[in-house]
A and B are shown apart, each in its own frame.
Chain A
């Protein structure tokens, strides 16, 4: 894996050897790689469930699995993808690796807590996989009571404990990031010189810290209700099942922003680097991340328009939900303005960024449909909603995650990935994604409910399109897995700054040394100051 050119220099990869040097490491870069392996595993595990779901829906009558099994498939798909892939995805891998480097720090503030948070994710994942192997869980990832407490005969408690434990992993990552951004910035790295990826991870961390404890207590009460019948959610004792939904969505709506905010940060980096222009309206883009984090806490009730909550509450939640569109649109408009008259290159990460902007816009605009009280009553619990959130989560977060992975891969591994294959896979993923999920908007609008294993014959054409798209998507996702591994051995040597980017992470060698920088960098310019970078390069050559 290591060629002579790399061997001469000490990097974080060859600073020490052996399994213990990885499992007990305190280096944020190594922990990021531990996370990378873990979440890649969970991504493909969740993908297997998605594959089975799409295969089952190829025909109108349940032909592959029973209704019960189907319920377990969509539950496990949701649980694995949300709690064990999307939530940790960008912050715990790319954020973990690059947030300290981007602010010029040697490590996160609490390296041992960072390692602990990886172990918590793994332990939580073990609980979830135990539930999966022992017989599965069929409540949907939302665990609505009273089904989850009184009726379901599946492994609700093991799954709930798994999510509870993984939640602490998320909390500790957020805590670590907040303290790191506050206390570990290099000299001269003021708040308004922070790269936007750092801002978006900071906003994400605020949600992780404020929201995740609420899902923790909710799961404690859920488990208490299921085992001891404490009555909190049980109408027979005066308890209220809708309270569960309030508590659940108080976390789980902001959790959407835990999943997508870091992605928005990546796109800001990519759009700037590959058009060689500072991000248009830097401060506004930075604050829009914080605005999304704050607004995210005020809109949870839009998941509950048909739950029996007060109509007035529904009105207010609907009204407030529209406000999320403002900071989101600010980002999209400012990215577009950044592109204007830029020197645009169509490298793979930029293709992902373009894909992201298009799909995120579709996902965001359909979000306005479901934020609207009247329209939502029509499309609630249909494939319209399924398509909407997959446009944000898959078309948004996973596109950005892959874009970021390609962008930073040379820094992490010291080698370039094969550009041709990477562009092809980006194209395949974009096409496969749209073929999978666009028909679902139509299906939902026509009335196909979610979470059903069977459907009327007239929906078959759209379902076949969706399944065909999922097959294309699967090919697109497998390709990077292969060529990234190939590139570790055969990829061209990347050099410290293959993209001509301004971030501090590009001022050190690739892969970086164990302590990131030979000496602590001193920051004298704004983020994305390409003129200053060019002057610095020139001075070096001169």
Chain B
């Protein structure tokens, strides 16, 4: 009973706070495994079509702005860093630091999404959106080139959707952190929220080379 008094967040199905934290962490890891399988289907499709249409994929890839992609990668890596610092702050009970680092994470995530939106808009202007008006200079393989951009939009779109969900998660954490809910003895939501954020980050680490860098040597 004592543990219930010390930790009001202990839910009734658990015996100890440690058991609850273990369960939540394992739950998030399993959820991330399902995400790997979800994105896995797309990576499979990408691998098959890139092998079949290496030329068109290289040409289409080289039209992407590598500097924008690189900067965005940097932004996302920084956000993972601030996320780690947020978890650390929660762990040692630094409430103000936790709030600050969560805000920074949210801002960096917002910058990433803004840059992404700018990039997508560029694609519309350049007629690189699959559809009747699609046209890619310098190739007769318009179909496979469209496939590349279909994969580009599906992959970066689903990644961005995960970012938006992550931003929501961070706002939730920020609100509770601001109200002082997280203490060194209970900060599991920050911990598992961080796991999710890093995962979304890692997905991008795979997307960036696959979409932006595959044919740079042909320049």
Contacts and interface: CB of A to CB of B under 8 A. Distances in A.
Q: Are A and B part of the same complex?
A: yes
Interface of A: 105-111, 113, 171, 175-176, 178-179, 182-184, 209-214, 216-218, 220-221, 224, 228-232, 236-240, 243, 247, 515, 520
Contacts of B23: 109-110, 179, 182-184
Interface string B175-192: 000000000000000000
Interface in B133-167: 141, 143-144, 146-147, 150-151, 153-154, 158
B26 to A, nearest CB: 5
A108 B13 CA distance: 7
A245 to B, nearest CB: 13
A175 B27 contact: yes
B45 A221 contact: yes
B34 A212 contact: yes
A174 to B, nearest CB: 8
B130 A230 contact: yes
Contact of A213 (B19, B34, B146, B153): B34
Given A179-B27, A229-B131, A230-B130, A210 B37 contact: yes
A454 B191 CA distance: 60
Given A171-B34, A209-B30, 4 more contacts: A210-B33, A237-B143, A238-B141, A238-B147
Q: Is the interface of A mostly helix, strand, loop or mixed?
A: helix
Contacts of B33: 209-210
B53 A238 contact: yes
A122 B23 CA distance: 27
B7 interface: no
Given A210-B37, A231-B130, A243 B144 contact: no
Given A175-B30, A213-B34, A238 B12 contact: no
Given A109-B13, A231-B143, A183 B22 contact: yes
Nearest to B49: A238
A243 B151 CA distance: 14
Contacts of B130: 228-231, 237
Interface of B: 11-13, 15, 19, 22-23, 26-27, 30-31, 33-35, 37-42, 44-45, 48-49, 52-53, 56, 130-131, 141, 143-144, 146-147, 150-151, 153-154, 158
Contacts of A515: 12
Nearest to B56: A238
A209 B34 CA distance: 6
B34 A175 contact: yes
Given A183-B22, A184-B13, A247 B44 contact: yes
21 contacts: A105-B13, A107-B13, A109-B13, A171-B34, A175-B27, A176-B27, A179-B26, A179-B30, A182-B23, A183-B26, A216-B38, A217-B38, A220-B158, A221-B45, A224-B154, A230-B154, A231-B150, A237-B146, A237-B147, A238-B53, A239-B147
Nearest to A215: B41
Nearest first, the 3 closest Cβ-Cβ pairs linking A and B are A217-B41, A237-B143, A107-B13
Contacts of B53: 238
Contacts of A212: 34
Interface centre among B35, B39, B154 (most CB of A within 10 A): B154
Nearest to B41: A217
Nearest to A112: B11
B41 A175 contact: no
Contacts of A224: 150, 154
A239 B151 CA distance: 11
Interface centre among B12, B22, B30, B154 (most CB of A within 10 A): B30
Contacts of A229: 130-131
Nearest to B12: A106
A167 to B, nearest CB: 10
A230 B34 contact: no
A184 B151 CA distance: 42
Interface centre among A224, A229, A237 (most CB of B within 10 A): A237
B22 to A, nearest CB: 6
A375 B110 CA distance: 58
A224 B155 CA distance: 12
A109 B25 CA distance: 11
B41 A214 contact: yes
A232 B38 CA distance: 16
A211 B26 CA distance: 18
Nearest to B48: A243
A1 to B, nearest CB: 27
Contacts of B41: 213-214, 217-218, 221, 247
Nearest to A216: B38
Contacts of A221: 41-42, 45, 154
A34 to B, nearest CB: 18
Contacts of A230: 130, 150, 153-154
B52 A238 contact: yes
A230 B40 CA distance: 18
Interface centre among A214, A221, A231 (most CB of B within 10 A): A231
A297 B62 CA distance: 37
Contacts of A106: 12-13
A176 B53 CA distance: 42
Contacts of A247: 41, 44-45
B27 A109 contact: yes
Contacts of B37: 210-211, 213-214
Contacts of B151: 232
Contacts of B31: 175
B45 A232 contact: yes
Contacts of B26: 178-179, 182-183
A149 to B, nearest CB: 13
Nearest to A108: B13
Contacts of B150: 224, 230-232, 237
Nearest to A180: B23
B162 to A, nearest CB: 13
